[in-house]
Amino acid sequence: MRVLLAGGAGYIGAHTAVSLLDAGHDVVLLDDLSGTSAVAAQRVERITGKSAPLVVGDAADDEVVEGVFADHGPIDAVIHFAAFKAVGESTLKPLEYYANNLDTTFALLRVGLAHGIRSFVFSSTGTVYSDPADLPFTEDSTTSVDLSNAYSKSKRMNEVVLADVARVNPDVNVTVLRYFNPVGAHTSGLIGEDPTGIPNNLMPYVSRVAIGSLERIGVFGDDYDTPDGTGLRDYIHVVDLAEGHVSALEKAAPGYAVYNLGTGRPVSVLELIASFEKAVGHALPTQILDRRPGDVAATYCDPAKAERELGWKARFDIDDASRDYWRWQSQNPQGYATAT
């Protein structure tokens, strides 16, 4: 099938493009390049030896999306990655987050349904689960729009919209994929995560310390009720995550469905740092700091539904992710900025 990837030049989008092309599908990438580079699309083609046309534009603009369908159709499916995603920033810029993260969905749905798409896959988040004690999270765990930040709220609002759209379009496969903590990079080292400024997430921050652009790793709290006192998270290799999207397109049935994409095996902050140190080959400067407000001791999922219904299961562990992320970072110390 031919798949439109909105946000397709981003971290998860580019890896998904590779997995789709490797699986025999065609892709079209739509991205405004506000958080990535056109180099990512070029490298998708370099990895796969196949075409990955990039349209530079705003996925919230109906005319832009119409142009993609006109110039690159027929398109069978849409995967929607085009969202602002910095949790902290979303608390300071809620209007921008609600506008972008909802308007992109509306435009992609309006145009896609008018052109007869058969599948719509939405990039959601495990942060829509609202009871931190309800572990491991299943797809039936409690969710809410009464969440602590605009990013998570916008994702949950999108899920509500998509459920309603699926109800009146019963022949369309509408799939929501709730991600946990994507890490790692493609084994080639050609594509990976390229955050601007100081990274918000742990592995890119650790990697920047390893490359020498940041001084030390800050560990926010070592007194949680966990085996080593640091927070537990469900880190999923980005290639596993990408392959989850292929499974959602190929095996999901018409109707509305939600799947967790995670490993189900939580890893602590200190375990991740130790894994990355093993990949780098030496210790990294680390400082224990006070807890951050709003952080919880543990967040991880039960991914059994995806394995049962989609035939998908994470294959890689944290050591694989650390090794692959370090290969990407060491080969591209400035990310895509100086890449050719």
CB-CB contact of 55 with 68 (8 Å):
yes
Query: Within a 10 A sphere around the Cβ of 78, how many other Cβ atoms?
Result: 28
Q: Which residues contact 35 (CB under 8 A, 6 or more apart)?
A: 10, 195, 196
Q: Which helix (H) or strand (E) holds 2?
A: strand 2-6
User: Catalytic pick from 11, 151, 179, 300?
Assistant: 151
Phi/psi at 281 (nearest 5 deg)? 100, 10
Rounded to an integer, what distance in angstroms lies between the CA atom of residue 79 and that of residue 8? 9
Phi/psi at 2 (nearest 5 deg)? -100, 130
Rounded to an integer, what distance in angstroms lies between the CA atom of residue 317 and that of residue 309? 22
The position carrying tokens 């990512």 is 40
Rounded to an integer, what distance in angstroms lies between the CA atom of residue 17 and that of residue 94? 30
Is position 325 annotated as part of the catalytic site? Answer: no
Return the DSSP state at 333. Answer: T
Active-site amino acid positions: 151
